[in-house]
Amino acid sequence: VHLIGPGGYDILKAIDETGSISGAARRLGMSYRFVWNYIDKMEKTSGMKLVEAWKGGRGRGGAKLTPEGKMLLQYYEEIMREMNEVANKWSKYLDSKLVINKGINRRQE
């Protein structure tokens, strides 16, 4: 099940850091409507409330991540850490094979 990708992560992270949907939209160079619709789609897909937003007039409205929203951020960060670890291991392995192959090719020339 695909719960979150880089775009959703960026949106949730920006909301968490700015405390508002409009602040997140500004930071990411997106429209408020786009960010709101993206959140709505993520919530419908996951079946979880991810963002709690409140209205309050100029400067008084805001948003914060629900515990499930924070959990989803942590989930994505952990997946990315694990993927980077695997990529680094494979990169080192493949680099060592390339060095060995270059050495073999040089000896044959």
| CATH assignment, 6-77 | 1.10.10.10
Question: What are the structure tokens assigned to 77, written together?
Answer: 């960060």
Torsion-angle region of 12 (φ positive above 0: left; ψ -120 to 50: alpha; else: beta): alpha
Residue 18 neighbours by CB distance under 10 Å: 17
- What pTM, to 2 d.p., does this model score? 0.74
Each residue of 22-68: pLDDT tens digit? 999 999 999 999 999 999 999 999 999 999 999 876 667 899 999 99
Instruction: Please state the domain extents for the chain.
Output: 6-77
Per-residue pLDDT, averaged over 74-91, amounts to: 90
